[in-house]
Structure 1
């Protein structure tokens, strides 16, 4: 199962960043692959909330349904699924000071069926995706 992990500091207080990341509709701003991300149920964001995410990866468009699995102070976990892959985005937040937060972004990709054979070959593209998350999330945090 390929994984990507990055730890970096963003210019936003943890109190703003946690709710921002828990509302996965905001992935359009910070997740480099996301083209659209819309709530499925229209309810306030809470554990169990779901989003329809359309992403592009390696030139191919794919749709996943994400759900908010964990939302607690300092921790957000989102799980996205379709017939080809299950994506686990685990984000840990730690206040550095009143205006900045250390983010540890850990993503695991569990490929299913024939796609599982290609999983190890995708590592370079996933590493680039990790670098792009750092850049885009840092930019998005500046606007909070």
Structure 2
């Protein structure tokens, strides 16, 4: 199991941050593992919207279907699933002023079957490589809006 939380600040109004982050198709610009991500359900983004995500981490490529399971003005949660893993991306935003937003990002990944064996190594990789890179990329993406 991987369970990583990071809290950081981006110089961006909370409304812009929220609009950008609630569309998981933007994940390639802020998630270091995501190669592609596209909406696969019809209509505007709302509870239940789904995305097809292709990620590569530590040389392993995997495809997950992500679903928006919480959609509040300052809090979104995406659940991703495939046969080897279940992933939750939980993002809470707090306004620190008109042009500053605190991001509380929590990633939780459960591995299934044979992938469970690699869990301790993957956890270490997430802590030391993926999480810091996510903070850097998400900050850059948000501040570039």
Q: Same-fold call, TM > 0.5?
A: yes
TM-score of the superposed pair, with normalisation by structure 2: 0.96
TM-score of the superposed pair, with normalisation by structure 1: 0.96
In structure 2, what is the equivalent of residue 67 of structure 1? 67
Measured in 1, the distance between the counterparts of 2:60 and 2:43 equals 30
Measured in 2, the distance between the counterparts of 1:14 and 1:140 equals 14
Q: Deviations over 1:24-82 (max 9, x none)?
A: 00001111111100110232111110000001110111100001111102111001111
In structure 1, what is the equivalent of residue 32 of structure 2? 32
Measured in 2, the distance between the counterparts of 1:62 and 1:134 equals 22
TM-superposed deviation, 1:84: 0.5
Measured in 2, the distance between the counterparts of 1:101 and 1:46 equals 22
TM-superposed deviation, 1:117: 2.0
Measured in 2, the distance between the counterparts of 1:21 and 1:29 equals 10
In structure 2, what is the equivalent of residue 86 of structure 1? 86
Matched, 1:117 2:135: no
Unaligned ranges ≥5, structure 1: none
Matched, 1:20 2:14: no
Measured in 2, the distance between the counterparts of 1:82 and 1:12 equals 33
Measured in 2, the distance between the counterparts of 1:86 and 1:104 equals 20
Measured in 1, the distance between the counterparts of 2:141 and 2:121 equals 30
In structure 2, what is the equivalent of residue 108 of structure 1? 108
In structure 1, what is the equivalent of residue 56 of structure 2? 56
TM-superposed deviation, 1:123: 1.4
TM-superposed deviation, 1:119: 1.0
Which secondary structure does the structure 1 equivalent of 2:113 belong to?
coil
Q: Deviations over 1:95-117 (max 9, x none)?
A: 01100100011011111111112
Which secondary structure does the structure 2 equivalent of 1:47 belong to?
coil
In structure 2, what is the equivalent of residue 138 of structure 1? 139
